[in-house]
């Protein structure tokens, strides 16, 4: 049941769908019935939505947003390209080129909406799934690959991009972001009354998931942010699953309601509605930069893929659930509106698809060309300056490596070439060579 | 006079001051020198800290530079990380050694690794002050010596002061350091006095130093045990034995050269600490000296340390802590080899 049926048959309201099928019938539910049912069960109360799954604009006076063709086309392009390289990341992992990939499928709107709401002077603290926010901050997708290929822990310049390194320990970044936001306030970058305030005043946004809301660091972050009036937006992407644990394991109350306990606003937004995510996050960031933060946003979305490529969601959730959430696809509703309104034509969609394919090809080629860093990299930036202890360890290790006949190890004795990019003798499969092999032969005589 | 209008030690006579006062003056000097230095922690502002190390700082530098934080240690360190990323130099106080562990995650996962992870794009100029060690008759969790836990973590610098003068300079050196420093203050020695000449700054106080020259046996420690070692050396002298006493001062990375030089001279080494013995700084010193000066040793490296037990109730802490007799007995054993 493709959502594009609404292109031909504009929504006449969920109840109309119910009526058409008739309550109590045993037939397969219509798309309208499914959406209606999902809204009742999944969305709950207080959801901000500016663009319905059927592609209808539903403006909200609290979160005004001028929806222009250019804005919508830009957001559409962002989401299609982000989804495309995300899918490529999954494929590259399956082909053994990446150690792991963390898919964001389904969360494109939640991330692109928030990312595009940021102003250049703002700062983002991501978890490890924020490829879409990275994209909006000008981090090239190839800069994400080092983490997943295992060549480094972070590649982009976090200061330059206003996008901190990925944080893997769940929730740590909530405190780091709060501290950064406290610094923005101490620097006098919050709440100035000048005409350029929106261009000069700053705010911070921190990304975390529904699982992280159980972490002490997220709780403490909210306590500190309230205590110090920190200009920080707590942006929780509630994708319903923390690996195998449903959100009900984390909380008895809707997550956005927790904000009230800390004394600041909590807003629930349709996380699959890029316009709502954009408008609400822009409001929240501007509220923070004007000195009225913090703010919490719960972007109500769904993790359409596994937690990571190492995960198997079939062990803990039904395919039916994932299928149902396809009705809320964040990209399709934008495509429906663009098409129905005549704001975009086939040529536009084709050009976006071409850009996406080109990005994926570049992403793939970059992965294949990535080289293993030299062992000296391990010893770099442990401290700001060299110290005797590490210099000796490095020198000893390089001397050890030099003791092998080819200067690197395993290659000299025809050791396993596959799997280890630089051919050095490492790990369980290492084969003693060079000087060691010679001395062993000598003792055998 | 300093920028804050508070007399510096240079203005007064060189009379002995307590280590607590020296630390307070060192913090003042660092805050005067760099407006980005912030002090943050529980009760550090209005109260001046439970040990009064930050006494008067809030009054003189303002609440925006001396932050009374909510009671959450991970929050103190975790927001300190963000402030450091923003360009500040947070000096975080953990109220007691045993209350550090809620912050352990942030210290290990973020403080120690931000620079390495970002390949130098970020630095982490943060100091985490921890009053540590026993001997003050306190309840559980107030007398622990967790320093080796931090030495094991790459990316952290760990240091401990043992005199008022070192405390004054070391806290400033720690704050100026672009790397994170875990700064262990021997709380039992806070009220012991020493002369602090604030007018002439040493090149560094973050290196091992020979506190007393000797020829028969090398005895090494740091922080709270140093006065015990000095008394042991005096007692040994009365018995005709000459001990060389070394204060490590920097616990990670270790500055072992003075220890190795001493062992090459004496051939005997006793390492002392009140932390539990297993996988400790005494273990590390013993292992490294054995690796690097094996043929200079006339006896095994011996250790006097806390027992591998939780810190005992106060009526037993004298049994637990290193003392003069334990040290001299170890010296006897070493020399008898």
Domain range summary for chain A, segments of one domain joined by +: 47-369, 375-444
Q: Do A182 and B79 touch (CB under 8 A)?
A: yes
**Is some CB atom of chain B closer than 8 A to the CB atom of A150?**
no
Q: Which two tokens stand for residue A406?
A: 């080819």
pLDDT at residue B79, as a whole number: 98
Tokens 């509106």 locate to A337
By Cβ distance, the residue of B84, B118, B255 closest to A165 is B118
Q: Do A154 and B117 touch (CB under 8 A)?
A: yes
pLDDT band at A193 (very low <50, low <70, confident <90, very high): confident
This prediction's pTM? 0.90
Is the pLDDT at A191 greater than 70, yes or no?
yes
Distance CA B92, CA B183 (A): 10
Q: Which residues contact A306 (CB under 8 A, 6 or more apart)?
A: A103, A312, A313
Q: Name all domains of chain B by residue range, CATH numbers in brackets.
A: 15-194 (3.40.50.970), 209-335 (3.40.50.920)
DSSP H or E run through A391? helix A388-402
Q: Which two tokens stand for residue A58?
A: 């539903």
pLDDT at residue B12, as a whole number: 55
Is the pLDDT at A425 greater than 70, yes or no?
no
pLDDT at residue B65, as a whole number: 98
Tell me the nearest-neighbour CA distance from A383 into chain B, angstroms.
Answer: 6
Tell me the nearest-neighbour CA distance from B317 into chain A, angstroms.
Answer: 34
**Is some CB atom of chain B closer than 8 A to the CB atom of A143?**
no
Contact residues on chain A for B110, CB-CB shorter than 8 A: 167, 169, 172, 176
**Residues of B with a known catalytic role:** 142
Do residues B265 and B259 lie in contact, with contact meaning Cβ atoms separated by under 8 Å?
no
Taking CA–CA distances from B119, the nearest residue in chain A reads A381
pLDDT at residue A413, as a whole number: 38
**Is some CB atom of chain B closer than 8 A to the CB atom of A183?**
yes
Condensed to tens digits (0 to 9), the pLDDT of residues A113-146 reads: 999 999 999 999 999 999 999 999 999 999 999 9
By Cβ distance, the residue of B106, B109, B118 closest to A154 is B118
Q: Do B114 and A165 touch (CB under 8 A)?
A: yes
| A/B interface, count of CB pairs below 8 Å | 138
Contact residues on chain B for A383, CB-CB shorter than 8 A: 115, 155, 157, 179
Residues of B with CB under 8 A from a CB of A: 64, 67, 69-70, 72, 74-75, 77-88, 90, 102, 105-106, 109-110, 113-123, 154-155, 157, 177-179, 253-255
pLDDT at residue B8, as a whole number: 60
Contact residues on chain A for B114, CB-CB shorter than 8 A: 165
At the top level of CATH, the class of A47-369 is: alpha beta
Q: Do A223 and B115 touch (CB under 8 A)?
A: no
Tell me the nearest-neighbour CA distance from A21 into chain B, angstroms.
Answer: 55
Q: With a cut of 50, list the residues of chain B below it in pLDDT.
A: 1
Q: Which two tokens stand for residue A312?
A: 């198997």
First and final C-alpha spacing in chain B: 57
Q: How far is CA B36 from CA A366, B32, B33, B85, B159, in A?
A: 41, 10, 9, 12, 22
Q: Do B74 and A175 touch (CB under 8 A)?
A: yes
Condensed to tens digits (0 to 9), the pLDDT of residues A265-312 reads: 999 999 999 999 999 999 999 999 999 999 999 999 999 999 999 999
Contact residues on chain A for B79, CB-CB shorter than 8 A: 175-176, 178-179, 182, 221, 224, 228
Distance CA B225, CA B223 (A): 6
Q: In the 8-state DSSP scheme, what is residue A326?
A: G
**Is some CB atom of chain B closer than 8 A to the CB atom of A169?**
yes
pLDDT at residue A420, as a whole number: 35
Of B292, B223, B302, B239, give the one whose Cα is nearest residue B268: B302
Q: Do B82 and A157 touch (CB under 8 A)?
A: no
Q: Do A177 and B86 touch (CB under 8 A)?
A: no
Is the pLDDT at A313 greater than 50, yes or no?
yes
Average confidence score pLDDT of chain A: 87
Q: Do A388 and B253 touch (CB under 8 A)?
A: yes
**Is some CB atom of chain B closer than 8 A to the CB atom of A373?**
no
Percentage above 90 pLDDT, chain A: 78
By Cβ distance, the residue of A153, A183, A216 closest to B83 is A183
Q: Do B115 and A180 touch (CB under 8 A)?
A: no
Distance CA A238, CA A210 (A): 5
By Cβ distance, the residue of A177, A381, A389 closest to B116 is A381
Contact residues on chain B for A171, CB-CB shorter than 8 A: none
Contact residues on chain A for B159, CB-CB shorter than 8 A: none
Torsion sign across C-alpha atoms B263, B266, B269, B270: negative
Q: Which residues pair with A241 in a beta bridge?
A: A246
Distance CA B153, CA B112 (A): 7
**Is some CB atom of chain B closer than 8 A to the CB atom of A291?**
no
Is the pLDDT at A318 greater than 80, yes or no?
yes
pLDDT at residue A21, as a whole number: 41
Taking CA–CA distances from B90, the nearest residue in chain A reads A179
Distance CA A176, CA A91 (A): 33
Tell me the nearest-neighbour CA distance from B197 into chain A, angstroms.
Answer: 29
Contact residues on chain A for B119, CB-CB shorter than 8 A: 152, 154-155, 380-381
Of B103, B42, B100, B91, give the one whose Cα is nearest residue B65: B91
Q: Do B105 and A381 touch (CB under 8 A)?
A: no
DSSP H or E run through B150? helix B147-151
What is the secondary structure of B1-65 as a DSSP string? --TTSPPPGGGS----EEHHHHHHHHHHHHHHH-TTEEEEETT-SSS--TT-TTTTHHHHH-TTT
Contact residues on chain B for A382, CB-CB shorter than 8 A: 115-116, 154-155
Taking CA–CA distances from A228, the nearest residue in chain B reads B69
pLDDT at residue A432, as a whole number: 53
Is the pLDDT at A18 greater than 50, yes or no?
no
Tell me the nearest-neighbour CA distance from B152 into chain A, angstroms.
Answer: 13
């Amino acid at each position: 049941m493709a959502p594009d049926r609404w292109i031909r048959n504009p929504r006449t309201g969920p109840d109309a769908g119910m009526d058409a099928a008739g309550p109590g019938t045993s037939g397969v539910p219509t798309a309208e019935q499914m959406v209606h049912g999902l809204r009742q069960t999944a969305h709950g109360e207080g959801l901000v939505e500016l663009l319905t799954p059927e592609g209808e604009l539903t403006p909200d006076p609290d979160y005004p947003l001028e929806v222009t063709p250019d804005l919508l086309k830009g957001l559409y392009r962002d989401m299609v390209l982000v989804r495309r390289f995300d899918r490529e990341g999954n494929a590259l992992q399956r082909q053994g080129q990446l150690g792991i990939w963390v898919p964001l499928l389904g969360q494109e709107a939640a991330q692109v909406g928030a990312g595009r709401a940021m102003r250049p002077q703002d700062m983002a603290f991501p978890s490890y799934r924020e490829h879409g926010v990275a994209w909006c901050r000008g981090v090239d997708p190839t800069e994400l690959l080092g983490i997943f290929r295992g060549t480094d822990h972070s590649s982009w310049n976090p200061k330059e991009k206003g996008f901190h390194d990925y944080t893997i320990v769940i929730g740590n970044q909530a405190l780091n972001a709060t501290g950064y936001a406290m610094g923005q306030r101490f620097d006098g970058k919050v709440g100035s009354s000048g005409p350029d305030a929106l261009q000069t005043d700053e705010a911070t946004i921190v990304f975390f998931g529904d699982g992280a809301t159980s972490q002490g660091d997220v709780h403490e972050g909210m306590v500190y942010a309230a205590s110090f009036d920190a200009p920080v937006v707590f942006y929780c992407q509630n994708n319903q699953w923390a690996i195998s644990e449903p959100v009900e394991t984390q909380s008895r109350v809707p997550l956005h309601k927790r904000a009230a306990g800390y004394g600041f606003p909590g807003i629930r937004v349709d996380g699959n509605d890029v316009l709502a995510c954009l408008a609400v996050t822009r409001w929240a960031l501007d509220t923070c930069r004007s000195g009225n933060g913090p703010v919490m946003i719960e972007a109500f979305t769904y993790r359409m893929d596994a937690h990571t490529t190492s995960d198997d969601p079939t062990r803990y959730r039904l395919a039916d659930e994932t299928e149902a959430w396809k009705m809320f696809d964040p990209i399709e509703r934008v495509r429906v509106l663009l098409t129905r309104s005549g704001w975009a034509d086939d040529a536009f969609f084709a050009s976006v698809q071409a850009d996406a394919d080109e990005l994926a090809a570049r992403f793939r080629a970059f992965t294949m060309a990535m080289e293993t860093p030299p062992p000296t990299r391990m010893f770099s930036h442990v401290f700001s300056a060299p110290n005797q202890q590490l210099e000796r360890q490095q020198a000893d290790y390089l001397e050890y490596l030099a003791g092998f006949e080819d200067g690197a190890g395993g290659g000299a004795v025809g050791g396993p070439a596959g799997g280890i990019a630089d051919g050095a003798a490492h790990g369980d499969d290492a084969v003693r060579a060079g000087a060691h092999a010679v001395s062993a032969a000598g003792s055998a005589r | 006079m300093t920028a804050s209008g508070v007399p510096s030690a240079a203005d007064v006579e060189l009379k002995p001051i307590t280590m607590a006062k020296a630390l307070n003056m060192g913090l003042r000097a660092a805050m005067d020198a760099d407006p980005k230095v912030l002090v943050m922690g529980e009760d550090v502002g209005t109260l001046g800290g439970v040990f009064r190390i930050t006494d008067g700082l809030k009054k003189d530098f303002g609440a925006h530079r001396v932050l009374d934080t909510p009671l959450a240690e991970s929050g103190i360190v975790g927001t300190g990380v963000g402030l450091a990323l923003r360009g500040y130099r947070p000096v975080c106080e953990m109220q007691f050694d045993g209350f550090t562990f809620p912050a352990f995650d942030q210290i290990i996962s973020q403080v120690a690794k931000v620079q390495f992870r970002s390949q130098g794009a970020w630095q982490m100029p943060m100091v985490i002050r921890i009053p540590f060690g026993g001997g003050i008759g306190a309840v559980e969790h107030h007398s622990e010596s967790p320093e080796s836990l931090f030495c094991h973590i790459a990316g952290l610098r760990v240091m401990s002061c043992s005199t008022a003068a070192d405390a004054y300079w070391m806290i400033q050196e720690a704050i100026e350091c672009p790397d994170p420093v875990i700064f262990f203050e021997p709380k039992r020695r806070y009220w012991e006095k020493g002369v602090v000449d604030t007018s002439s700054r040493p090149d560094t106080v973050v290196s091992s130093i020979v506190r007393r020259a000797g020829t028969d046996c090398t005895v090494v420690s740091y922080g709270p045990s140093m006065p015990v070692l000095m008394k042991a050396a005096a007692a040994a002298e009365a018995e005709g034995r000459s001990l060389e006493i070394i204060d490590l001062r920097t616990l990670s990375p270790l500055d072992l050269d003075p220890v190795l030089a001493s062992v090459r001279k004496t051939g005997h080494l006793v390492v002392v600490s009140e932390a539990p013995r297993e996988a400790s700084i005494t273990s590390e010193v013993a292992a490294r000296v054995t690796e690097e000066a094996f043929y200079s040793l006339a006896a095994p490296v011996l250790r006097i340390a806390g027992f591998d037990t939780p810190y005992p109730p106060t009526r037993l802490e004298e049994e637990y802590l290193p003392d003069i007799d334990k040290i001299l007995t170890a010296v006897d054993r070493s020399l008898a080899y």
